[in-house]
């Protein structure tokens, strides 16, 4: 259990199993001494709250990167579209309002730094070594590769790279996160330290 959870984490919209939430919390707790934590793909803040509580406990900070316009599967007419997160007036997805509401309810406004932008733009001038990077953005190969190429180089030595939605069996889920995970291992820069359900955790050597 994540101690002192200020709200029912299951009430937050999102796709994160309880054991994965726990693992994110514990690895952030251990790695945020090496630098702040950054996640890609915050959506409504479910993983943000797990990582943020660890950062709060250690006096660190969490950068929460998401354009909040939804991934491919969240768009109107797609499988994971949520009408409550659709801005009818502007005809776009907008998960930022819900994200802010949840971060406030979790008491994490002084820990979480939202970055509302695309991954490549946000990374362009980034220069801070990160204790942990959690990749859970778009699941197209292009999006997953961009997230990996933009952010994996910023993981500090000894820091953790976490990748969500790893499915070795293509029948169980898309293959882009798994492709990026194997790429990280093949680079020789990371070693596997843990796997919890579909969450893979690697340490930067």
Q: Which residues bind Mg ion (CB under 5 A)?
A: 136, 164-165
Smallest distance from Mg ion to CB 90, Å:
25
Distance CA(19)–CA(134), nearest Å, equals 15
Smallest distance from Mg ion to CB 58, Å:
24
Distance CA(119)–CA(143), nearest Å, equals 9
Residue closer to Mg ion, measured from CB, 56 or 71: 71
Smallest distance from Mg ion to CB 184, Å:
17
Residue closer to Mg ion, measured from CB, 39 or 136: 136
Smallest distance from Mg ion to CB 199, Å:
9
Q: Which residue is nearest to Mg ion (CB)?
A: 164
Is 81 among the residues known to form the active site?
A: no
Distance CA(105)–CA(80), nearest Å, equals 24
Residue closer to Mg ion, measured from CB, 98 or 136: 136
Point out the catalytic residue in the list 74, 139, 154, 164.
139
Distance CA(136)–CA(128), nearest Å, equals 20
Bridge partners of residue 37, in order along the sequence: 62, 132
Residue closer to Mg ion, measured from CB, 27 or 164: 164
Contact yes or no for 122/40 (Cβ under 8 A): no
- C-alpha of 131 from chain center: 14
Catalytic residues: 139
């Amino acid at each position: 259990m994540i101690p002192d959870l200020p709200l029912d984490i299951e009430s937050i919209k999102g796709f994160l199993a309880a054991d994965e939430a726990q693992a994110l919390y514990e690895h952030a707790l251990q790695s945020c001494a090496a630098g702040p934590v950054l996640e890609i793909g915050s959506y409504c803040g479910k993983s943000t709250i797990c990582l943020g509580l660890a950062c709060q406990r250690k006096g660190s900070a969490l950068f929460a990167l998401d354009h909040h316009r939804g991934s491919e599967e969240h768009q109107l007419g797609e499988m994971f579209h949520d009408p409550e997160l659709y801005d009818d007036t502007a005809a776009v997805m907008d998960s930022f309002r819900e994200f802010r509401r949840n971060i406030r309810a979790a008491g994490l406004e002084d820990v979480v730094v939202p970055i509302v932008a695309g991954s490549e733009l946000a990374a362009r001038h980034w220069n801070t070594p990160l204790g942990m990077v959690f990749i859970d953005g778009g699941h197209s190969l292009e999006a997953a590769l961009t997230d990996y190429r933009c952010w994996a180089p910023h993981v500090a030595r000894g820091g953790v790279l976490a990748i969500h939605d790893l499915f070795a069996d293509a029948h169980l889920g898309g293959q882009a996160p798994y492709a990026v995970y194997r790429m990280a291992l093949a680079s020789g820069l990371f070693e596997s330290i843990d796997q919890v359900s579909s969450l893979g955790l690697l340490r930067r050597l």
